[in-house]
Structure 1
Amino acid sequence: MFDYRLKVFYKVASRLSFTKASEELNISQPAVTKHIKEIENTLNTKLFNRKGTSIQLTESGKILYGYAEKIRNIYRDMEFEINQINQQHKGKLIIGASTTIAQYILPEILAKFHSYYKDIKIELFTHNTEIISSLLKKGKIDLGIVEGESQSSYFEYKAFRADEIVLVSKVDHPLARKTLQLTDLYEIDLIFREQGSGSLEFVQNRLRDKGIQIENLHTVMQIGSSESIKNYLLHSESMAFLSISTVLQELKNNLLTVVDIKNFNIERNFHFILPKGEQSELIRLFLKFISYN
């Protein structure tokens, strides 16, 4: 019920990207622009300012964003409370999620879901993308949420949310405030995620696209946990490629910093992976709920 134009604006404002909004909404970028223009014409105001390749909310945009979030939450609460009265949802949903998603994104969503549907039991398995895909193929989980780039013909994939992988170091690293060239990576001690990690796959592919072979870099070690990598960085001169979702608290507390690499960024989408064919009622309910969060 959330007005579609307002939904488009909310996505663009949340991601500060017309491209990411179009991908998540599964519509063309010109269609996104059209919806934004219609709102601007209706309100007789400008909602976004462009700065190079990036956009920022205007003062009017910030006001609308605040109200759009309130309206979105009201619609969500209304819809799910009525749905609760009309249907008694019970059962068990087994979810498998990549480590980054399970640790930094899902807990808040699962807590909200439980507050609405107390009779639905959730089990969450956490592992890397490769193993989550294997568990789904074997029928040991109902759906997966992964960060990997590879896709299999066994599954249906739906975009969950946008993410970015960034190069991170401790704040007092000698190179922390410099803009690096890609070739500078050959001179840096690097920590990577373990084999089978979706994040590692993205980093490896994007570096290869730019002519950088990851096997030629100075890899100090591979670690199977973003938390362990972050703690390692705090006590070393190494750097690591990590999801921005994993380092928000450390950036806020000025413990870690993002190191800029000239003309290089790694943007991606997290995805739901589902068995092909008709989905169960519980899966449909969960996907609908998560689309609001």
Structure 2
Amino acid sequence: MDIKWLRTFIISAKYENFREASEELFLTQPAVTKHIKRLEESLYIQLFERIGKKVVLTPAGHKFLFYARELISNYEQGMQDFEAWKQGYNRKLIIAAAPQVASSFLPALLRRFMDENPNIEVLINVLSSFEIGNVISLGKADLGLTRILPVQTNVKAETVHKESVILVGPNESSLDENIALHKYRLITHNHPDYWDDFLNEIKRHYPNVQTMKVNQVEVTKRFIEEGLGVSYLPLTVVKEEIASKRLVEIKPDKIIRPTSSTYLLTKAATDEVLIFIEFLKRFIPF
């Protein structure tokens, strides 16, 4: 039995249509038909019933679909584990990280963690803060680093970092808060936590401020560099750009800035999770 036949069967079962399966698999339709025929011959049973140009799963096809998915899952997991073993890993840690975390302090943190724990394979899944709580709840990641508290009741959350939010603009020496918010559009909603309430505070002092929603921090920073606007962002997110003078910090005047928190989300306290938490407490004191 060829693993390719199983993949073809699973995709064909999803569509119950060999043409659509061939498009997803980047195979010709005759190749899909051949894979299914070979699989049926190896199992000595019919998996699809052909009705004209249509195909439908037989009772045997429905039954075998469960086993085919299990076989593929075990095969892929086994290959991942074997590849990890070849690279010297004997443990794995899956981290779900918000973009604002992944692009700020996480790289330096991971470099030190992996130096200390060379036998732990670290996998990073960058997701929106709103998704991370659910991913941890479902057990699809071992821990999460997010900018908002989760709504899931089976997920534990700890605050691991708090930082200032600052107003940043393009590199112009003449900028102050009043000039910046009159001259430039205010780029908003690039952070999942503070914008809704904070925007009301800004408009209370600057009611005519023009805004532009951009939901990605990296895009926001690039827009600011090109003179498209200014924005309030966590300090760690723009630290490098300020140091290299691509962006400048604009000093506060009327606006009371919020703070930005990073939360560590966990569900199961595996050995790898506990090792990471202990490391995190040394790197960023809770």
TM-score band by shorter chain is 0.5 to 0.7
* Structure 2 Cα separation of the partners of residues 138 and 191 of structure 1: 34
Partner of 1:148: 148
* Structure 2 Cα separation of the partners of residues 128 and 113 of structure 1: 23
What is the one-letter code of the residue matched to 1:271?
A: Y
| SS of equivalent to 1:290 | helix
Structure 1 residues 148, 185: closer, same or farther in 2, change over 3 A?
A: farther
Superposition map of 1:29-178 within 5 A: 90-148=90-148, 151-172=151-172, 176=175, 178=176
The answer to whether the 8 A contact 1:192-1:221 is kept is: yes
Q: Deviations over 1:203-224 (max 9, x none)?
A: 3233446775999853234142
Deviation at 1:268, TM superposition (A): 2.8
The answer to whether the 8 A contact 2:97-2:145 is kept is: yes
Partner of 1:54: none
Task: Return 5+ residue gaps in structure 2 as ranges.
Answer: 1-88
The answer to whether the 8 A contact 1:193-1:200 is kept is: yes
The answer to whether the 8 A contact 1:161-1:270 is kept is: yes
| SS of equivalent to 2:219 | helix
- 2:178 maps to which of 173, 177, 180: 180
Q: Deviations over 1:14-73 (max 9, x none)?
A: xxxxxxxxxxxxxxxxxxxxxxxxxxxxxxxxxxxxxxxxxxxxxxxxxxxxxxxxxxxx
Task: Return 5+ residue gaps in structure 1 as ranges.
Answer: 1-88
Kindly tell me the number of residue pairs found equivalent between the two proteins. Answer: 194
The answer to whether the 8 A contact 1:192-1:219 is kept is: yes
Moved over 3 A (4+): 149-152, 184-188, 206-217
- 1:235 maps to which of 215, 226, 231: 226
Q: Does 1:250 align with 2:246?
A: no
What is the one-letter code of the residue matched to 1:272?
A: L
* Structure 1 Cα separation of the partners of residues 133 and 173 of structure 2: 37
Q: Does 1:289 align with 2:279?
A: yes
* Structure 2 Cα separation of the partners of residues 212 and 150 of structure 1: 30
* Structure 1 Cα separation of the partners of residues 173 and 152 of structure 2: 40
The normalised TM-score by structure 2 is 0.59
| SS of equivalent to 2:282 | coil
Deviation at 1:234, TM superposition (A): 1.5
Deviation at 1:171, TM superposition (A): 1.9
What is the one-letter code of the residue matched to 2:186?
A: L
Deviation at 1:272, TM superposition (A): 0.2
What is the one-letter code of the residue matched to 1:180?
A: N
What is the one-letter code of the residue matched to 2:137?
A: K
The answer to whether the 8 A contact 1:173-1:237 is kept is: no
What is the one-letter code of the residue matched to 2:196?
A: Q
Partner of 2:70: none
Deviation at 1:228, TM superposition (A): 2.0
* Structure 2 Cα separation of the partners of residues 91 and 128 of structure 1: 26
* Structure 2 Cα separation of the partners of residues 233 and 140 of structure 1: 35
* Structure 2 Cα separation of the partners of residues 166 and 149 of structure 1: 22
What is the one-letter code of the residue matched to 1:250?
A: E
